[in-house]
Amino acid sequence: MSMPLELQCVDCGQKYSVKQILYQCTSCKGLLEVKHDLERLRKLNLKDLFEERWNAKTLPYSSGVWRYKELIFPVNDECIVSRNEGNTNLYKSGKYAQYAGLDNFMLKHEGENPTASFKDRGMTCGVSAARFLEANSVACASTGNTSASMASYAASCGMKALIFIPDGKIAYGKLCQALAYNGKTLQIQGNFDDAMTMVQQVCDQYNIYLLNSINPFRIEGQKAIVFEILQQLDWQVPDWFVMPGGNLGNNSALTKGLRELYEIGIISKIPRVAVIQAEKSNPLYRMWKEKKDFEPHPDPDTIATAIKIGNPVSWKKSLKGIEWCDGVVEQVSEQEIMDAKAMVDGSGIGAEPASCCSVAGARKLREKGVMKKDDVVVGVLTGHLLKDPNATIYYHLDELKDQGITGAFRNPPLQVE
Ligand code: F0G
């Protein structure tokens, strides 16, 4: 059976078969995206199908990604590598919401995935694509979560995993997973952007399947976050989605998913999307704010190491999506990230620093009047609290002063005999 999908260059429109291993356009180097036949999908009554699958007990439809298979990757079930990802909680309230000044602020906790970050949604699809394309080794550059996820999914189906990470500054919870799942882990002398350049060269040279979000199938799986949120909300569309931005794959996926739902008539309202960057790793924000050409940040830095990225590969896709939904880009300081984190954690929910950009950013956009008090807002928490215990503990011990952060809402342990 032929695949009802194609790959298409986001810049020049050139089309390619999905059976080819390709991440960029061979003529203009633009990124590729998966094109679904939306006319055909429009006729399928997908919403009813997704509702029927909601309580499925077995794979693939019990997965919060494969439940939406037709809109993601309609591959044969034998190719699917799944750990039953997704099905994460959408928290309705907590003190984080008062802190942000919003009456209807929900948090989708993607840290509740099998390897404790949102990456599992893209990875189940990426590793299944690797199988579809008959690859037996996969590789990625990572600030930690992508590598943890890739190593797990590769191990679960007997593939080899090759990982490039920046030397130092990768959170221990993540490094620990990569090693535990037997990923061949190379700590390079350089930052994430250097690792990204290196892994692309190595994949080309040695014919290894690249699983960063430059891979169009990663983006497809990632879209399931928004499908699942909307299904949890009975397909009522919120006013805003707010999420952190690093390599900018996740927000590109979210807007692509929304756009497809809109085009096939499952939703009729377009929500706005806010992408939040750390002040010291903010190339998209600067471009957005100053309305100038994209320029990489030469020396990215932030306590939110997951998004310590200066040259995000998906900036064009991201921008296209933000423009489509009348979205915004905001930045938050190190102090704002960690204080917002204290609120997310203190609500009993908990998340790693990068995730908490969602709450810090919402608070800022509320203060500026961009978001209204009664807007319905969904924030995405991208990773689990335990991914980065050091950041949390040093905040509560008030030992982050050298990074310009005070433990404003600290809860230090008391020494008793
Ligand atoms: N939050 C967390 C916890 C992340 O790990 C990442 C990205 C992001 C947000 C940003 O998402 O890159 O799609 O804009 N982590 C990647 C990694 C880069 O290697 O794990 P993005």
pLDDT (tens place) for every residue of the chain, 417 residues total:
467 899 999 999 999 999 999 999 999 999 999 999 999 999 999 999 999 999 999 999 999 999 999 999 999 999 999 999 999 999 999 999 999 999 999 999 999 999 999 999 999 999 999 999 999 999 999 999 999 999 999 999 999 999 999 987 799 999 999 999 999 999 999 999 999 999 999 999 999 999 999 999 999 999 999 999 999 999 999 999 999 999 999 999 999 999 999 999 999 999 999 999 999 999 999 999 999 999 999 999 999 999 999 999 999 999 999 999 999 999 999 999 999 999 999 999 999 999 999 999 999 999 999 999 999 999 999 999 999 999 999 999 999 999 999 999 999 999 999
Report the C-alpha gap between 247 and 261 in whole angstroms. 24
Q: Are 140 and 257 in contact (CB under 8 A)?
A: no
pLDDT of residue 247: 97
Total length of the chain: 417
Q: Calculate how far, in angstroms, residue 45's C-alpha sits from the geometric centre of ligand 1.
A: 33
Q: Calculate how far, in angstroms, residue 142's C-alpha sits from the geometric centre of ligand 1.
A: 8
Q: Are 251 and 273 in contact (CB under 8 A)?
A: yes
**Which residues does a 6 A CB cutoff place in the pocket of ligand 1?**
117, 119, 142-146, 213, 244-250, 306-307, 352, 354-355, 382-383
Strand partners, 31: 24
Q: Calculate how far, in angstroms, residue 306's C-alpha sits from the geometric centre of ligand 1.
A: 5
Nearest CA residue ID for atom 5, ligand 1: 306
Burial class (CB in 10 A: 0-12, 13-18, 19+), 76: exposed
Q: Calculate how far, in angstroms, residue 305's C-alpha sits from the geometric centre of ligand 1.
A: 9
Closest atom, ligand 1, to C-alpha of 144 = 20
Q: Calculate how far, in angstroms, residue 84's C-alpha sits from the geometric centre of ligand 1.
A: 21
Which two tokens mark 117?
Answer: 């970050």
pLDDT of residue 331: 98
Report the C-alpha gap between 252 and 19 in whole angstroms. 23
Q: Calculate how far, in angstroms, residue 252's C-alpha sits from the geometric centre of ligand 1.
A: 12
Tell me how crowded residue 62 is: count the other CB atoms within 10 A of its CB: 17
Closest atom, ligand 1, to C-alpha of 250 = 13
Which two tokens mark 416?
Answer: 């008793």
Whole-structure pTM value: 0.98
Report the C-alpha gap between 111 and 120 in whole angstroms. 10
Q: Residue 241's Cα: distance from chain center in Å?
A: 13
Report the C-alpha gap between 307 and 360 in whole angstroms. 15
Closest atom, ligand 1, to C-alpha of 243 = 9
Closest atom, ligand 1, to C-alpha of 140 = 19
